[in-house]
A and B are shown apart, each in its own frame.
Chain A
Amino acid sequence: QVQLVQSGVDVKKPGASVKVSCKASGYSFTNYGISWVRQAPGQGLEWMGWISANNGNTNYAQKFQGRVTITTDTSTTTAYMELRRLRSDDTAFYYCARSPPVVNRVDYWGQGTLVTVSS
């Protein structure tokens, strides 16, 4: 069965960077992409960006351009999301989710990783 298992809770100071991992299993990793979606406490879902696990092509939401980098390691079927210059309003659950080669939806989701930004 498709599984996406994310790294654990992280606490960062303002201005720092965070890197969240997402280990995929149960499907052919390079036939799909991985999206990253965040959800601030009590708020809605926000799509951050996507990577093709086949060729490494990426596409980011304009809001996060220049501050986020999504990568994959096909040898370990793991995706990563790095967010830089953290602010307190980046405190949120960060989810990885599988997307088709065209990011027209997300289907399977990771369990989420809480990132807290606090001084």
Chain B
Amino acid sequence: QSALTQPASVSGSPGQSITISCTGTSSDVGAYNYVSWYQQHPGKAPKLMAYDVTERPSGVSNRFSGSKSGSTASLTISGLQAGDEATYYCSSYTTGSTLVFGGGTKLTVL
């Protein structure tokens, strides 16, 4: 199972919106609505930010929103804040009943 494809880096200014893409195949992202997103600050464990494409765990800001079209999922962060600077990973359930992660996207808030 190959890793999902994410851009290595994205950037934006405070207050702006950015979108991170996550491209898979018909065996993972395209097969199920089971895409999740995780935020990881340096030296910390990842934190779940969105699941089942569009759902947010309790306590996660509504500035984070997920979507999917075909085999590509996206995470949009609106109203960028300095604290959003982190690395973001997507994951998807697969037809092999496994989980696969993306390579990660480093978000820089300018």
Contact status A44-B45, CB under 8 Å? no
Count of B residues near A, CB < 8 Å?
25
Partner of B101, one of A47, A99, A104, A111: A47
A interface SS class: loop
Contact status B48-A104, CB under 8 Å? no
Contact status A109-B47, CB under 8 Å? yes
| Min distance, Cβ A49 to any Cβ of chain B, angstroms | 8
Contact status B103-A107, CB under 8 Å? no
Mark out the residues of chain B between 95 and 110 whose CB falls within 8 Å of any chain A CB in the assembled complex.
Answer: 97-104
**Number of A-B residue pairs with CB-CB distance less than 8 Å in the complex they form:** 66
Partner of A50, one of B46, B51, B99: B99
Q: How far apart sit A112 and B3, CA to CA, in the bound complex (Å)?
A: 21
Can you name the residue of chain A whose Cβ is closest to the Cβ of B92?
A104
**A44-B104, A106-B99, A107-B48 known; A62 and B1 CB under 8 Å?**
yes
Interface centre among A46, A62, A103 (most CB of B within 10 A): A103
* Stretch of B12-20, B32-40, B68-76, B77-85 at the chain-chain interface: B32-40
Q: How far apart sit A42 and B51, CA to CA, in the bound complex (Å)?
A: 25
Query: Is residue B89 within 8 Å, beta carbon to beta carbon, of the partner chain?
Result: yes
Mark out the residues of chain A between 85 and 106 whose CB falls within 8 Å of any chain B CB in the assembled complex.
Answer: 95, 99, 102-106
Can you name the residue of chain A whose Cβ is closest to the Cβ of B103?
A44
Q: Give the interface of A toward B (CB within 8 A).
A: 35, 37, 44-47, 50, 59, 61-62, 95, 99, 102-112
The 8 closest A-B pairs by CB, nearest first: A104-B34, A104-B93, A105-B36, A109-B45, A45-B101, A44-B104, A47-B99, A105-B51
